[in-house]
Amino acid sequence: MDSILEQYYVVLNDDRPSSLVECAGADGSIDLEKYQEYKAKEEELEQVEKNYFFSIAPAETECGEAESTLQNSTKRRKKSCKSLRPYYFDNEGNLKFKLPTETVWYYAYARCSKLAVKFRRRFRMPYSAYVDLLQKLQSAEEFRRWLGKDAVGDEASPIGLLLLGTLRYLGRGLTFDDLEEYTAIGEETHRQFFHIFIEYGEKTLYPEYVVMPRTAAEFQQHQFEYDVGGLTGAGYSTDGTNVIMWRCEHNLKQANTGFKDSHPARTYNVSVNHRRQILYSTKGHPGRWNDKTLAMFDEFLSGIHDGKILQDVEFELLSWKDGNVGGEVVKTKYQGAWGLVDKGYHRWACTQAPSKVNSLLIEQRLSDWIESFRKDSECVFGILKGRWRILKTGIRLEGKEHRPQTVFG
């Protein structure tokens, strides 16, 4: 105990600055070198002070009463967020803060991962995809603040751990406080990184992976399965899905609460091909809007309907000659693409829904066949909400502008 007190007085009386006033120059500017010495001295004093209080506490209450004694004795001092980081005791009994590069996540996942199956299950993507995404973030200007050192020369938080935390937040719905426990990085840092990642995903990742076809050449690669299934000219199926918005403003609750939902939600109209690749997704709209209203604000569907895109697509359909059912079958040429929807959409040429009332068996079989093809969009929603928990349990961020475009990408 005496050695700890001696160490405390040695640190207290050394030549390093003891206040911010001593770090200021004559012109009022801050000397960074003196400021670093001041911060290092403050941390050493805090460390020695904690070691002293833990040394005088009873051994059987080391993690209980000692912590309480430490908090009561130092409550006059302004606590920094770093004191809340995970810590441990070394072999000599000194309290040490755990660094992000000493955590299990850093060694098991950030540096390298040999647990391929578990990595995919825990972070919802293969390790190779994680490495590719990490390289993109490291070269992006938005994440430059986490690639070097801060103003006082301290190493920034590892961007690999921050990305893992974001994936765990999206995939399993953890809180930022949970991520601080796993990575030894402050929850506020995780929160700031997450918001920047969402903006980066919407502006950069989403346009890269979700490409809306505009010409016949681009649309042709999505038609193969429909052509084989006898639905010539089709290339997509469209449906809407809701994502719960928990922290909705009171004045927006009525507009965002649909007739079938008990919670406010944002609605997304998504078009996919038969290989379950997303071709287009709208931005979040109020949950009260129905499918017809969503279609009016859907750039993909309204573009086909208005003749702005995919008007160079040509195909042939079989039909009864002169409308004589059971008579001669003829081929008719059409122009423009079309897709499969449910009965809630407009009766446009580009939005074909299965018929519910049929007088002939052949018409009923065709309707059932179209219904089976139309399930692609619903399967995509099930896959996304099964993989990314934030889509299933809801968004806990404030503001309707935080839409999960990153996940749809």
List, in order, residues 6 or more apart from 394 with CB less than 8 Å away.
243, 244, 245, 246, 263, 265
Do both 256 and 197 map to the same domain? no
How much is the average pLDDT of 107-133? 88
DSSP character at residue 107: I
Overall pTM surpassing 0.85 (yes/no): no
pLDDT attached to residue 31: 81
> Could you give the CA distance from residue 258 to residue 149 in angstroms, rounded to a whole number?
48
pLDDT attached to residue 233: 92
Do both 331 and 317 map to the same domain? yes
pLDDT attached to residue 274: 94
pLDDT attached to residue 409: 40
pLDDT attached to residue 208: 92
Q: How many domains does the chain have?
A: 3
pLDDT attached to residue 59: 44
How much is the average pLDDT of 163-167? 95
Residue where a domain terminates, one of 209, 230, 256 = 209
Distances (CA, A) of 71 to 101, 109, 144, 187: 27, 35, 36, 21
pLDDT attached to residue 318: 83
For residues 218 and 152, the model is more confident at: 218
Do both 106 and 93 map to the same domain? no
* Structure confidence by residue, pLDDT tens digits, 174-200: 899 999 989 989 899 999 999 999 999
Q: Is 275 helix (H, G, I), strand (E, B) or coil?
A: coil
> Could you give the CA distance from residue 125 to residue 397 in angstroms, rounded to a whole number?
23
pLDDT attached to residue 60: 41
pLDDT band at residue 129, thresholds of 50, 70 and 90? very high
Do both 239 and 319 map to the same domain? yes
Average pLDDT score, the chain: 83
> What are φ and ψ of residue 214, in 5° steps?
-120, -20
Do both 174 and 62 map to the same domain? no
Task: Give percent of the chain above pLDDT 90.
Answer: 43
Do both 244 and 381 map to the same domain? yes
For residues 343 and 7, the model is more confident at: 343
> Could you give the CA distance from residue 105 to residue 28 in angstroms, rounded to a whole number?
43
The residue range of the domain holding 348 is 216-408
pLDDT band at residue 401, thresholds of 50, 70 and 90? low
pLDDT attached to residue 79: 47
Do both 297 and 386 map to the same domain? yes
Residue where a domain terminates, one of 162, 189, 209 = 209
pLDDT attached to residue 400: 54
Out of 24-33, 142-151, 200-209, 392-401, the most confident range is: 200-209
Question: Is the pLDDT confidence value at 403 over 70?
Answer: no
Do both 75 and 117 map to the same domain? no
Residue where a domain terminates, one of 209, 241, 266 = 209
Do both 109 and 133 map to the same domain? yes
Pairing relationship of beta strands 351-352 and 87-89 according to DSSP bridges: unpaired
pLDDT attached to residue 62: 44
Do both 140 and 254 map to the same domain? no
pLDDT attached to residue 3: 66
pLDDT attached to residue 66: 46
pLDDT attached to residue 99: 85
* Structure confidence by residue, pLDDT tens digits, 305-333: 999 999 999 999 888 888 777 778 888 89
Do both 203 and 133 map to the same domain? yes
For residues 92 and 203, the model is more confident at: 203
* Structure confidence by residue, pLDDT tens digits, 203-247: 999 999 999 999 999 999 999 999 999 899 999 999 999 988 888
Question: Is the pLDDT confidence value at 249 over 80?
Answer: yes
Do both 142 and 21 map to the same domain? no
Radius of gyration of the chain measured on its C-alpha atoms: 30
> Could you give the CA distance from residue 46 to residue 6 in angstroms, rounded to a whole number?
14
* Structure confidence by residue, pLDDT tens digits, 360-388: 888 889 899 999 889 999 999 999 999 99
